[in-house]
Chains A and B, each alone.
Chain A
Amino acid sequence: QSVLTQPPSASGTPGQRVTISCSGSSSNIGSNFVYWYQQLPGTAPKLLIFRNNQRPSGVPDRFSGSKSGTSASLAISGLRSEEEANYYCAAWDDSLGGWVFGGGTKLTVL
Chain B
Amino acid sequence: EVQLEESGGGWVQPGRSLRLSCAASGFTFDDYAMHWVRQAPGKGLEWVSGITWDGDDRGYADSVRGRFIISRDNAKNSLHLQMNSLRAEDTALYYCAKGESSGYYSWPDTWGQGTLVTVSS
Asked if A and B bind, the verdict is yes
Are B107 and A90 neighbours in the complex by a CB distance under 8 Å? yes
Is the CB of B85 closer than 8 A to any CB of chain A? no
Are B114 and A44 neighbours in the complex by a CB distance under 8 Å? yes
Q: Sort chain A's interface into a size bin.
A: 20 to 34
Residues 41-74 of chain B, each 1 if its beta carbon lies under 8 Å from chain A, else 0: 0001111001000000001111000000000000
Using A44-B112, A44-B113, A44-B114 as known contacts, say yes or no to A101 and B47 having CB atoms under 8 A apart: yes
Q: How far is the CB of A65 from chain B (nearest CB, A)?
A: 13
Q: How many residues of B contact A (CB 8 A)?
A: 22
Is the CB of A56 closer than 8 A to any CB of chain B? yes
Is the CB of B32 closer than 8 A to any CB of chain A? no
The chain A residue with its CB closest to the CB of B107 is A35
> Roughly how many angstroms separate A73 CA and B11 CA in the complex, as a whole number?
38
